[in-house]
Amino acid sequence: MMYFPLVTDKVRKHFTQYINPESANKEMWIDFNGQPIKWNYPIGVWFDAFCFESPLPWTVTVHFEDYPETKILHCPSKDAIKSHFMSSIKEADSLKHKGQVINTMQDKDHHQLWLGFLNDKFDQFWSVNKRLMESTAGEGFRNIPIKCYLNEKPFQKLVKPIDDTTENWTTLQEALFEFDPKLNFNEVRVITHGIEPSLKTPIQWMSEHLSYPDNFLHIAVINTNTTSHDANQDRTA
């Protein structure tokens, strides 16, 4: 659920003794099979969407030179991560509650959200975040904050928790059809947090229980007809 720059301090300290001193203070970046890893994706999302069929332990390469700034954003400090994280939470609440919950919180609440996440203190984080997960019984959220990774590229759509036509809870399968109406579920695997949830699971329930700390559902749709090796070679996302 973390972002790579928040967990790589020890990695930097380890490698600085082996690299050119002039490179020690340069911005570090990581690649997998030659593909730069975007730090603004949570680590688990990147693995689910782009590396799920890779052998464990996950092997990545650390770089201190030639930052690929045309492919990934710069991350000069933890403040950049905080800004990205809080912007995602605000966007999610805008979708769920028209921003009414996050906008009524005080700065200390926002700070507590960040510190709880940063320091992996669940109780500290959840005591504030649970307010962002509240919904009207029988109605759910206004929209579901969801990002779907199809063909290794992220997409967003407005997904309603309840189908306007049937008035039934929208299922995961129905939500994914919003992204690709021609999706063949016999040819794909649907992954989040390293698991394959039932396609019949209500998307509202998933949003309440399986969202990342940024309050978004991140769903990876992996084509089983493409081998992991070929996917890594062709990846452009």
Which amino acid appears at position 144 of this protein? Answer: I
The 10s digit of each residue's pLDDT in 173-228 is 999 999 999 999 999 999 999 999 999 999 999 999 999 999 999 999 999 886 44
In b/e form, how buried is each residue of 120-134, taking b as 16+ CB within 10 angstroms? Answer: eeeebbeebbeebee
Which residues, other chains included, contact 68 with Cβ-Cβ below 8 Å and sequence gap of 6+?
Answer: 29, 36
Indicate if 146-234 has the same CATH topology as 78-132: no
Domain extents in the chain: 4-63, 78-132, 146-234
pLDDT at 226: 62
pLDDT at 137 over 90: no
Q: pTM of the prediction?
A: 0.90
Instruction: Kindly indicate the confidence band of residue 53, based on its pLDDT and cuts at 50, 70 and 90.
Output: confident
Which residues, other chains included, contact 11 with Cβ-Cβ below 8 Å and sequence gap of 6+?
Answer: 28, 62
Which residues, other chains included, contact 194 with Cβ-Cβ below 8 Å and sequence gap of 6+?
Answer: 44, 47, 48, 52
pLDDT at 233: 42
Report the CATH fold assignment for 78-132.
Serum Albumin; Chain A, Domain 1 (1.10.246)
pLDDT at 111 over 50: yes
Q: Is residue 18 classed exposed, middle or buried when 0-12, 13-18 and 19+ CB atoms within 10 A define those classes?
A: exposed
Which SS3 state, helix, strand or coil, does residue 146 take? strand
Instruction: Kindly indicate the confidence band of residue 230, based on its pLDDT and cuts at 50, 70 and 90.
Output: very low
For the 146-234 domain, the top CATH level (class) is alpha beta
pLDDT at 130 over 90: yes
pLDDT at 234 over 50: no
Closest of 162, 119, 115, 160 to residue 138, by C-alpha = 162
Q: Across residues 34-50, what is the average pLDDT?
A: 94
Closest of 36, 46, 44, 23 to residue 73, by C-alpha = 36
Closest of 188, 190, 158 to residue 172, by C-alpha = 190
Report the CATH fold assignment for 4-63.
Ubiquitin-like (UB roll) (3.10.20)
